[in-house]
Amino acid sequence: MKNKRLVCIPGPTPVARCIQDQMARETVAFGDPDFVRDYKQLIEDLKSIFDCDGEAFPLAGTGTLAMEMAIANNTKSGDNVLIVSHGYFGDRFIDLCERKGLHVDIIGCEWGTVVSPAEIEKKLSEKEYSAITVTHVDTATGVAAPIKEIGDVVKKFENTIFIVDGVCATAAEEEYMGDMGIDVLLTGSQKAFGVAPGLFLVMASKKSLERRASLGTIPEFYCDYEKWLPVMENPAKYFATPAINLIWAMKESVEMIKREGVQNRYDRHKKNARAMQAAVESLGLKVLAEKEHRAVTLSNIIYMDGVDDAQFRNILMEEGIIVAGGLAAYAGKMFRLGHMGNIDTHDMVSTVATIERALHRVGKHDDMGKAVGVLMSELMK
Ligand SMILES: *Cc1c(COP(=O)(O)O)cnc(C)c1O
């Protein structure tokens, strides 16, 4: 008999039954009063959970479109933008910004480490930047940027908009826009919200809305804040058809967050991640990210010598979990394991047990149950 397949890539993540049920509902008119009420409720809840004093835009599209919306509404051609890149998705902003005719400066660092807030402060002091982009968790490296500390730096530069790519972080890593000075927080539905792919979320602070207002007409159409602001205010209005069933699914995900308590959710992710990381390290595998900068949403795990990546991940799939491969210099040397969103203790234990079975089958592990033991001891602390 085949094992069930658990999706442990860094998005899409497992979709809880109650969220699936929302996607299976009969689709109604976008002006249906019940849907309008639900959409409005979702928008208000998101603003409240993430401490957003501006507007929340949950719209059809993916995380990449959310990145584009952030740049579109906060910069104009010829502006300077500072891109802090911790890996693959940080780099995605470079092409995106250059196509808009922005002058781009990039601060990067070795994969697995973070750019220091002091270095960012020095760079921001050199010239006027209209925006700075930081990826909260780059899935290529499994590193979490120190968003709060960076926010404290950016607050000193009143003409700079702080854009945070939270696609692999939001709803799992702590993010309070007001407290952390975040002006634009963006994500996709398929990562820590645990909804199917297809929806993105941009949350804009009051400062970001003011920036948009100062720009006049912008070249972008679908992702212009001003096209959507009247709809977010009153979802009975039409600009472009909302993804009705995905909006319901996102609303259900937010209901789950409210039931759990957002701070409890952040704490759960931290505990699970540290337990998972200790468990895999007990097997002789290495975690790429430096200990103090590890994400809670995924772990990027480097093989011991002599493991063939393709063979290992095939065996893992046979045993019942799907993980992602390493990127760039780490292709073939690492696998990426997502542990974010609506996963429970059963999922965590099964995942570690599956890794043990797969390592055993490639001849790299005998002491069965060792990592599961470490995981459970950590979870019970
Ligand atoms: C997944 C991801 C993206 C891209 O999101 P899509 O929904 O695939 O467009 C952007 N940034 C980060 C950090 C991601 O993890």
- The answer to whether 336 is a known ligand-binding residue is yes
Tell me whether residue 120 is in a domain. yes
Nearest residue CA, atom 12 of ligand 1?
167
Ligand 1 within 6 A of CB of 326: no
352-374 pLDDT, tens digit per residue, is: 999 999 999 999 999 999 999 99
Instruction: Please report the pLDDT score of residue 119 as a whole number.
Output: 98
Nearest residue CA, atom 1 of ligand 1?
167
Please report, rounded to a whole number, the percentage of residues in the chain having pLDDT higher than 70: 100
Give me the mean pLDDT over the 35-53 stretch. Answer: 98
Q: Considering its fold, how many domains does the chain have in total?
A: 2
**Crossing angle of the two packed helices 88-99 and 63-74, in degrees rounded to 10:** 50
Instruction: Please report the pLDDT score of residue 324 as a whole number.
Output: 98
Q: Do 160 and 239 reside in the same domain of the chain?
A: yes
213-253 pLDDT, tens digit per residue, is: 999 999 999 999 999 999 999 999 999 999 999 999 999 99
102-121 pLDDT, tens digit per residue, is: 999 999 999 999 999 999 99
Given a contact cutoff of 8 angstroms between Cβ atoms, the answer to whether 136 and 143 are in contact is no
- Res 72 pLDDT > 90: yes
Q: Which of 198, 232, 260 is the last residue of a domain?
A: 260
Domain that holds residue 336: 6-12+261-379
Average pLDDT, the chain: 97
Mention every residue, 6+ apart, whose C-beta is less than 8 A from residue 314: none
Give this prediction's pTM: 0.97
Give the count of alpha carbons within 13 A of 333, CB side only: 11
Ligand 1 within 6 A of CB of 177: no
- Res 288 pLDDT > 90: yes
Q: Sign of dihedral through CA atoms 153, 155, 160, 165? A: positive
Q: Do 251 and 266 reside in the same domain of the chain?
A: no
- Res 192 pLDDT > 90: yes
Atom of ligand 1 nearest to the CA of 169: 13
Instruction: Please report the pLDDT score of residue 1 as a whole number.
Output: 86
- Res 301 pLDDT > 90: yes
- Res 298 pLDDT > 90: yes
Q: Which residues, listed in sequence order, are joined to residue 184 by a DSSP beta bridge?
A: 163, 204
Distance between Cα 227 and ligand 1 center (Å): 24
Banded pLDDT at 39 (limits 50, 70, 90): very high
Q: Do 270 and 246 reside in the same domain of the chain?
A: no
Q: Do 183 and 275 reside in the same domain of the chain?
A: no
Banded pLDDT at 161 (limits 50, 70, 90): very high
Q: Which of 201, 227, 260 is the last residue of a domain?
A: 260
Q: Which of 260, 276, 294 is the last residue of a domain?
A: 260
Atom of ligand 1 nearest to the CA of 62: 7
Q: How far is CA 20 from CA 24, 76, 87, 249, 253, in A?
A: 6, 40, 32, 7, 10
Tokens for 7, please give them. 């999706």
Nearest residue CA, atom 15 of ligand 1?
168
